[in-house]
Amino acid sequence: MAVPLKSSAPTVTDRVPSDLVVVGGRPESVVQFEAQVVDFFVGAAELLGVPKSVAVIYGIVFASAQPLSFADIAARANLSKGSISQGLRVLREVGALKEVSTAADRAELFMPDTEMRQLIAHFLESRVEKHLDSGKRRMQGFAPSLEGYTAAEQKILRQRLQKLQRWHDRTRALLPVIRTFLKLGV
């Protein structure tokens, strides 16, 4: 059962994502809190271009004081098991979730990694650096593609490609500085 909307007109910041969180017999206040946390992360994900399902999973885990299993997440999130599986993989890859287990329960349990430094560092390593590496390879193939343009057009487009190369190089140069700040905890 999905979370019902409150009768008072919700604002953008306290809107309940009724289609994302499942009540499942839990207290309304718990579900309401969870729904608000999920909504917060869904909004942030939209800004960063992260899939909504990944944000929902992270929000569900973040809103729980106890580690959650795959089954727990599936019972709380209105997502397919395939989306949950994929989302968990992505969140583990970027270091947003920690896997924990207890002696009593050897099932794979998840807790959020709430260290912003670590999340940003993992994001830089897993996404930004890979994109920069592939971007450099792709840019090398741009110049030969200019043959169909006039000489004047080629001149303009070569200048743009040089600017693009500078942007790329400056971004690459910033990564070590950002990593240093992250290590220092600034």
| Predicted local confidence at residue 141, as pLDDT | 81
Residue 52: pLDDT over 90: yes
Query: What is the structure's pLDDT at 138?
Result: 84
Mean pLDDT for 5-14 is 38
Number of C-alpha atoms within 13 angstroms, CB side, residue 135? 15
Do residues 120 and 182 lie in contact, with contact meaning Cβ atoms separated by under 8 Å? yes
Q: Is residue 87 over pLDDT 70? A: yes
Q: How deeply is 54 buried, as exposed, middle or buried, from its count of CB atoms within 10 A (0-12, 13-18, 19+)? A: buried
Tell me the Ramachandran region of residue 134: left when phi exceeds 0, alpha when psi lies from -120 to 50, beta otherwise.
Answer: alpha
- Give the mean pLDDT of the chain: 82
Q: What is the 3-state secondary structure of 93-104?
A: HCCCEEEECCCC
pLDDT: which is higher, 1 or 145: 145
Token pair recorded at residue 38: 């999920």
pTM value is: 0.64
pLDDT higher at 92 or 136: 92
Helix ranges, the chain (H): 28-48, 52-62, 70-76, 81-93, 116-123, 129-140, 151-184
Of residues 135 and 103, the one with the higher pLDDT is 135
Rounded mean pLDDT, 83-101: 90
